[in-house]
Amino acid sequence: MAAIETPPADVAASERYGPLVHRSVHHGSLLLLIGALEFIAAMVVTQLGYGSSFDWGSSYSLKNNYISDLGAANCGPFSGALGGGSSHYACSPWHLVFNVGIVVLGLLLILAVLLLRTAFPARRSRTIGLGLLALAGVGSIGVGLFPEDVNITAHIVSSFLAFLPGSLALVVLGFAMFRDTRWDGFRAYTVLSGLVSLVALILFISGAYVGLGVGGMERLIVAPILLWSIVVGAHLVRIPTFAPRTLPKGSSSG
């Protein structure tokens, strides 16, 4: 039986929606969860192949290396994406793990956006917020397809497309959650996550790393978005779906 595609008819437009979602939202939330978790796993695995991921002085440094260094297809000195930093050395033997992981993240994010539409009230902020989130997915795909040492221009454009729309999406979606009981307790968190990511992006571009280093500041851009994807994905998948449409015995759907 197909799930009801609209809220119950007796729910007035002025009322707050109840804590139910369409089945497609469950599918989208799972994709959101899987995308974030597989990308985190891809980063960890690639860091282990690069060297000690917890060594801030040599090999791969969470503080001093760009995230994009994990995807460098060759070994050599490269300029960092977006941050405008000086040339630095990068060598990532398992770069394919990272690049495939971020492409998969982008694809799953775009698919999730298409399925999560009905999790938000029908208003302009929903369209804008989900559109920005889809753009972030496109940017993520570009980051994986164009490593920093292969096409730095395309890589920088893709990185910017992943970072800026991703942070703005959360801010806008926080307002899209207004007057919807399914999002009680998540509105302020969503907006705050977007603002933290956006401020970190501004500091990153300006070169003000406030002691975190270029890698630490770049992770402060990405971490709120990934964490939000995990938290929201887990939240939505737990909400019951609308009951299936039932027909009286002897009646037909025609």
* pLDDT digit string, tens, across residues 181-237: 888 889 999 999 999 999 999 999 998 998 899 999 999 999 999 999 999 999 888
**Residue owning tokens 């307790």:** 185
Give the residue numbers spanning the domain of 47: 23-238
pLDDT of 170 higher than 90: yes
Instruction: Flag whether 248 is in a domain.
Output: no
Give how many domains the chain has, as a whole number.
1
Residue 154 lies in a domain: yes
Residues with Cβ within 8 Å of 7's Cβ and at least 6 positions away in sequence, in order, are 17, 18, 20, 242
**Span 142-159, pLDDT tens digits:** 999 999 888 889 999 999
**86: in domain:** yes
Whether 253 is covered by a domain: the verdict is no
Residue 97 lies in a domain: yes
For residue 91, the model assigns a pLDDT of 82
Decide which of 14 and 208 is more confident: 208
d(CA 220, CA 209): 10
The residue type found at 168 is L
pLDDT value at 32 more than 70: yes
- Residue 35 within any structural domain of the chain: yes
**Cα–Cα distance, 134 to 65 (Å, whole number):** 27
pLDDT at res. 188? 92
Residue 246 maps to a domain: no
State the pLDDT at residue 49. 84
Task: State how far the Cα of 157 lies from the Cα of 196, in Å rounded to an integer.
Answer: 21
pLDDT tens, 103-144?
999 999 999 999 999 888 888 999 999 999 999 999 999 999
For residue 1, tell me if it sits in a domain.
no
In the three-class reduction of DSSP (H, G, I as helix; E, B as strand; rest coil), residue 216 is classed as helix
Is the pLDDT reported for residue 13 higher than 50? Answer: no
